[in-house]
Structure 1
Amino acid sequence: MSGRDDFIAAEPIGKIQLMTAIILFEIGSTPMFLLARDAGQNAWISMAVGAAAGTIVLLVLLSLQRVSGEQDWTEMLLSRLGKWGGGAMAVLYALIFAYESMRNVRDFGAMANGTILPQTPMWVVMLIISAIACYAVAKGMNVVFRTIELFFPFVALSYCTVALFFFISDLPHAYRLRPVLDQGLGQVLKHALPELISFPYGQVVVFLLFWKYAKEPRRAIRVSLTAFGLVSLFLTAMSALTLSIIGADFAKLVAYPFLEAVQLIHIADFLERLDIFVTLVIFLGLFVKLSVFYLASNVIMSRLTGWSGRTCAIILGPLIFGASFLEPSQTFHIWLGLKVQVKYAWIYQVVVPFLILVLTLFAKRKSAHRSS
């Protein structure tokens, strides 16, 4: 590897690191928002449908990685679309990933300001988390993935504990999930596609920048499918659990349905107010997501310019932080992300990778025909 590649991945990414990164990245802050809430008590079914569609997307992405061999997403674009076309498309993806990182910085600041740090200016929280992410990304891909690996046991144990406390407090009730499919399957599909492909499942496209660096590329496919399956089951279960506790009608009225459900936990007159604890867990998920998107944008920028990853990280950091103030309000921020962006994100998550896969297969078949 060159010096620049040493920064990107000084050593291969282990299968546990890859699995934990995919799991925590896909989870992110998703449990806080009851996605597809307009589907009512059937929102959890929409999550399951979205997960099934997301699995198909993942198979396309893994197939592209398999046939492209030792190339990451930037190299695939350059080899299939040429220097100028591929370069322009790669720049577009770098901007998209930086934008996604910015959205998570904004979410981090707004959630901190609205929960545990109401007296702290939002920009201070956003500046601190941006600086920490910049430091991690500047240290390289291995540092980011190792950090995520360290976070995973705490996050997994926390969610398992909260779920257990839900049942100990006798909060979930199946009747709140009925009637099932009362408006037919079409209503469920309407709220699942393409929104739930775009967020959160389709965002796994970012790992096209990292699969190349897996220690065992063939096992990386199995590891990624396993991680994605676990995430799908978890998000579907958490959606059903939240609905079974607070009901679909109330869930539509609050910003963070899962947090409202956690606030109802009350055990033996002393164990309560776990919403602060859960908020800290969500912060870890947000940090993972913003760091992975930041790293992906950084890798593309480093590839295209030839600059060191550290230099690119220092340039991108202030841009991501500054862009987080462009949206006039948190209401606009949420509307843009959950109502507008999700309707079009599938184009860069699914359509473009699929076209590159077709071009790659065509090129390989043409090459094989010439050889024969």
Structure 2
Amino acid sequence: MEKAKISLYQLFVLILLFELGSAILVPLAIDAKQDSWLAILFGMAAGLFLFWIHYRLFLYYPELTPPEYMQKLLGKIAGTLLAFCYIILFMYIAARVLRDFGEMLLTFAYLETPLFMVNALLMLVTIYAVSKGIEVVARTGELFFVSMYFLAITGFILIVFSGLIDVNNLKPILEEGIFPVAKVFFTQTLFFPFGETIAFSMIFPYVTKRKSVLKVGLFAIGLSGINLAITMAINIGVLGVDLTSRSQFPLLSTIQSIQVAEFLERLDVFFMIATVISIYFKVSIYFYAAVAGTAVLFKIKEPSKLTYPMGMVVLFMSVTIASSYAEHLKEGLEFVTRYLHPFLLIIIPLLLLGIAFLKNRRNGNTANRTRS
């Protein structure tokens, strides 16, 4: 563990930017059609509960990182294997988000640039920041947070004043009942992006006021869920369900539609800046969790030495995990959310919390009997 401290505000900023991440890029929960915003809010509610699970584990072992308390709860061998699985997961998801970034830039501006070169630019910046420690990442988040929200609010105002939103595209609500929304919730939004806050369990020990971590985390997740729900509602209101579902990057298409007073248009740069900022922080948090977890698991005293080799692995993974963007999206929906996320984001944390509860209650009872 490095000697670092981050404030509650910095934690709030990191969680919010992390949750937005690549979620603002894709047609999130579009299988629920015009009710996608509702599926996002359901996912946000579940994300609050999952964050509480990670916080409760942190309270049981406030001085230990997840790899350490996994070994304490499951034993040396099983705990080490599980911790290693999470390190691989963090690197894999970081590579997936990096791939989203590269595909977006290739579609948006750099049509002839190799994917490897585009991804390498962001990964090198991420490696440098993570090598300097979590405090540097957190301070960078403070700087970019204001810019991110200024762009978001400005874009929202321009969309409203341009008269693009057709509220009828969002009607009727629950046309096919609650089942399609529930299906999307259980297969998508429960895990992405709200279940992914497990990466922050590696950061909790650095927070200065630990008693307020839960309150700040829940507020950040709630605000990010509302932002994502509004974003998808605007996309559908402007583009309609059919065009939103067929668009690779619906928010880009929405922003490209802005035209105010016949001179303010083609504001694609708004989209690019916002997505680059949010994706950078999502990759950075996942990559930091992988590096810090590896350093703790293998007792490496200088985690910064791991950033370059592990960063190169993430970079090559981002290019090789899929042959095309369509295959990349299909792998995310059919493999990651179906097999990896339910087990590693929900079942295992619940199991660990149950074991921690039983062990601490038994230890408490033993201590009470000893005192009496």
The aligned counterpart of 1:342 is 337
Alignment map for 1:256-335 (pairs within 5 Å): 256-307=249-300, 308-326=302-320, 327-335=322-330
Aligned equivalent of 2:193, options 194, 197, 200: 200
Shift of 1:167: 0.5
CA distance in 2, matches of 1:309, 1:23: 26
Deviation at 1:277, TM superposition (A): 2.4
How big is the shift at 1:68?
2.4
Matching of residue 75 in structure 1 with residue 68 in structure 2: yes
Please report how far the alpha carbon of residue 298 of structure 1 lies from its aligned counterpart in structure 2 after TM superposition: 0.2
1: CA distance, partners of 2:7 / 2:269: 33
Residues 122-172 of structure 1, C-alpha deviation per residue, up to 9 Å, x if partnerless? 211111111111111111111111112211111111111111111110111
Letter in 2 for 1:365: R
Amino acid in structure 2 at the alignment position of 1:310 = S
Paired AA for residue 170 in structure 1: G
Pick which of 29-38 and 284-293 moved more: 29-38
My pick for the range that moved more, 279-288 or 291-300, is: 279-288
Using the TM superposition, give the Cα deviation of residue 67 of structure 1 relative to its aligned residue in structure 2, in angstroms. 2.4
Task: Give the 3-state SS of the residue equivalent to 1:279 in structure 2.
Answer: helix
Identity of aligned residues (%): 28
Task: Please identify, of 155-164 and 66-75, the stretch whose mean Cα deviation from structure 2 is larger.
Answer: 66-75
CA distance in 2, matches of 1:293, 1:281: 19
CA distance in 2, matches of 1:207, 1:35: 22
Mapping of residues 353-372 of structure 1, within 5 Å:
353-372=349-368
For residues 75-224 of structure 1, the aligned pairs below 5 Å read 75-224=68-217
- Deviation per CA, 1:52-108: give whole Å up to 9, x if none: 122221222222222222222112211111221111111110010001111122111
How far apart are 1:243 and its partner, in Å? Answer: 1.0
The unaligned stretches of length 5 or more in structure 2 are: none
Q: Alpha-carbon deviations, 1:322-363, whole Å to 9, x = none?
A: 112222222111111133311231221111111111111111
Alpha carbons 1:45, 1:236 under 8 Å: kept = yes
Q: Which digits, 9 at most, give the CA deviation of each residue in 1:23-58, with x for residues without a partner?
A: 000001212212121211111111111111222212
Residue 33 of structure 1 is matched in structure 2 by 26
Does the 8 Å contact 1:68/1:360 carry over to 2?
no
1:248 aligns with 2:236: no
One-letter amino acid of the counterpart of residue 142, structure 2: E
SS in 1 for 2:305: helix
| Equivalent in the alignment of 1:226 | 219
Aligned counterparts of 2:255 and 2:121: Cα–Cα separation in 1: 27
Q: Distance in 1 between matches of 2:243 and 2:107?
A: 19
Shift of 1:306: 1.9
Structure 1 residue identity aligned to 2:323: P
**Does the aligned pair in 1 maintain the 2:155–2:270 contact within 8 Å?**
no
Decide whether the 8 Å contact of 1:32 with 1:257 is kept in 2: yes
Q: Residue 196 of structure 2 aligns to a residue in which SS?
A: helix
TM-score, scaled relative to structure 1: 0.95
2 CA distance for matches of 1:241 and 1:202? 24
Question: Which range moves more in the overlay, 69-78 or 262-271?
Answer: 69-78
Q: Secondary structure at the match of 1:194?
A: helix
TM superposition shift of 1:174? 1.4
The question of whether the paired residues in 2 share the 8 Å contact of 1:115 and 1:276 is answered with no
Instruction: Flag structure 1 segments of 5+ consecutive residues without an equivalent.
Output: none
For 1:57 and 1:257, the matched residues in 2 are separated by 28
Partner Cα distance (1:356, 1:68) in 2:
12
Bigger mean CA deviation after superposition, 338-347 or 356-365: 338-347
Residue type matched to 2:347 in 1? V
